[in-house]
Amino acid sequence: MLFHFLLLLLEFVRGTDSDSMSTNTSGTLEPDNDTLESDFDHHCRLLLTQSANSRAEGWVMELCRYLGDLPADVTKETNIIDWWVKHADIYPTLARIAKDMCGSEIATDRQSWLGADKFKHLQVLKHAWHFSISDHAATNSVTVKSIDILEQFKELLVHDGEMEHKLNASELVVTN
């Protein structure tokens, strides 16, 4: 969803005329022709014009850099919030947008029908049952890991069985 928003934002930026934006900002900052402008006022006006233009270019360049970048540290299991926290200094504007997007509510109308009383009851039940509810996914993953470890020793088990069979066969021959 954030990616689609950023693409729309980039299309909007490419569709606007950057020259008209810069003339509008500089036009509002121009002094009257009737008054004399001091060096300080002239310097302040130049700084304001430059900052207005650099802010407009800054987030556009940031968006282009983000869309052109292919981060190697992103996988299916990546925590997107942590990723944006780590990369907030590289993409400050986009990090703020991501923070706003990730903080938006995800509850549907149907989920909000619960009401305060039912939600309160569910929270009390969750707290009461917290220790008695087992996490079957975690239990199964531990079991799968132990089975995977045992698979490595399958050949040794077969070899031990063959050796035991040969040992028993040799004992039978000696006792006859």
Residues 40-58 pLDDT 10s = 777 777 777 766 565 555 7
Residue 107 has pLDDT above 80, yes or no: no
Are 10 and 67 contacting, i.e. CB atoms less than 8 angstroms apart? yes
Lowest mean pLDDT among 34-38, 87-91, 96-100, 139-143: 34-38
pLDDT for 34 equals 53
- The C-alpha atoms of residue 52 and residue 134 are separated, in whole angstroms, by 57
Tokens of 131: 């220790």
Tokens of 164: 């035991």
- The C-alpha atoms of residue 93 and residue 54 are separated, in whole angstroms, by 13
Q: Fill in the amino acid letter for 42.
A: H
- The C-alpha atoms of residue 85 and residue 145 are separated, in whole angstroms, by 33
User: Is this prediction's pTM over 0.75?
Assistant: no
pLDDT for 19 equals 42
Rounded to whole angstroms, what are the CA distances from 17 to 10, 54, 57, 62?
13, 15, 12, 18
Are 83 and 74 contacting, i.e. CB atoms less than 8 angstroms apart? yes
The 8-class DSSP code of residue 72 comes to: T
Domain boundaries defined on the chain: 1-14+42-114
Span between the terminal Cα atoms of the chain, in Å: 81
pLDDT for 53 equals 60
Place of tokens 């079957």: 136
